[in-house]
Amino acid sequence: MAEEVVLLDFWPSPFGMRSRIALAEKGIKYEYKEEDLRNKSALLLQMNPVHKKIPVLIHNGKPVCESLIQVQYIDEVWHDKAPLLPSDPYQKATARFWADYVDKKIYDLGSRVWKTKGEEQATAKKEFIESLKLIEKEIGDKPYFGGESLGYVDVAFIPFYSWFYAYEKCGNFSIEAECPKLIAWAKRCMQKESVAKSLPDQQKVYDFILQMKKHFGIE
């Protein structure tokens, strides 16, 4: 039976990027549908009625919502190529813990960096760097969080690299200066076609953030 895979997405979304990378790693052909979040499609509202958010993965007409759930689903269904989660239960638990950490900390702290200014921004920057340093330690001496090849945590986290330039410009700081190992890891990931194809240009993301700031009336 022909597999029909559709991804409802929005180009700057780091969450959407996760699913793009997972699909590319597995070599899955799919239809990419760009959503205008100010004018959500009937399909999006039908497929994610609870949150009305992207990304939504639609596999043979059935929706899977939440990016990390999509990545795990993709890994399970197309399990014969490029496994993303380790098979050992304890290592799997560790990978899930860190992906959860990225979800709990990175997006929110990063958002605070570009959405605020003054003292609030200074605090956000400090906490953001602290979080990055914590994750950076997890890489250790391995090329990827997943070990020798790209894994679940790599896929969960690398999309945020496309936002780093925007965070740095808005916050006036250098992530590389604080976390050189992390940037080395990111550049290594970017050499993979699945990642390079799935992440937008950092300048483009920054321009998008500037537009958002104007829209929200943030200086």
Partner 1 sequence: MAVVKLIGAWPSAYCYRVIWALKLKGIPYEYIEEDLSNKSHLLLQYNPIHKKVPVLLHDGKPICESTVILRYIDEIWPQNPLLPADPYERAVALFWIKFADDKVFLLSKLYQTDGEEQQAAVKEWLEMLEVMEEHALIGGKKFFGGDEINMVDMAFSFVAHWLGILEDVVGLEIFEPHKFPRVSSWIQNFKSIPIIKENLPDVDKMYAFSKHGREMMLASKSN
Token pair 């925007």 is found at: 166
Using the rule CB under 8 A, is 177 a contact of partner 1? no
- The answer to whether 151 touches 105, Cβ cutoff 8 Å, is no
Check if the beta carbon of residue 190 is closer than 8 Å to that of residue 199: yes
- Given 34, 41, 46, 92, the residue binding partner 1 (CB under 8 A): 92
**Count of residues in contact with partner 1, rule CB under 8 A:** 22
Residue 186 CA to residue 119 CA, distance in Å, equals: 29
Does residue 155 belong to the site contacting partner 1 (CB under 8 A)? no
Interface segment toward partner 1; rule CB under 8 A; list 3-11, 19-27, 69-77, 107-115: 69-77
Q: By CB under 8 A, which span of 24-32, 84-92, 160-168, 185-193 interacts with partner 1?
A: 84-92
Query: Considering the complex, what minimum distance in angstroms separates the CB of residue 73 from partner 1?
Result: 5
Cis status of the peptide bond prior to 55, with omega within 30 of 0: yes
Residues in Cβ contact with 121 at an 8 Å cutoff, skipping those fewer than 6 apart: 112, 113, 171
Of 100, 108, 130, 201, the residue at the interface with partner 1 (CB under 8 A) is: 100
**Longest alpha-carbon distance in the chain:** 57
The least CB distance from residue 62 to partner 1, in Å, is: 6
Identity of the residue, 66 or 154, whose beta carbon is nearer to partner 1 in the bound complex: 66
Query: At closest approach, how far in Å is the CB of 27 from partner 1?
Result: 18
Specify the pairing of strand 62-65 against strand 56-59.
antiparallel
DSSP code string of 61-79: TEEEESHHHHHHHHHHHTT
Among 10, 11, 32, 73, binds partner 1 (CB under 8 A): 73
Residues at the site binding partner 1, with contacts judged by CB under 8 A: 49-50, 59, 62, 64-66, 69-70, 72-73, 76-77, 89-90, 92-93, 96-97, 100-101, 134
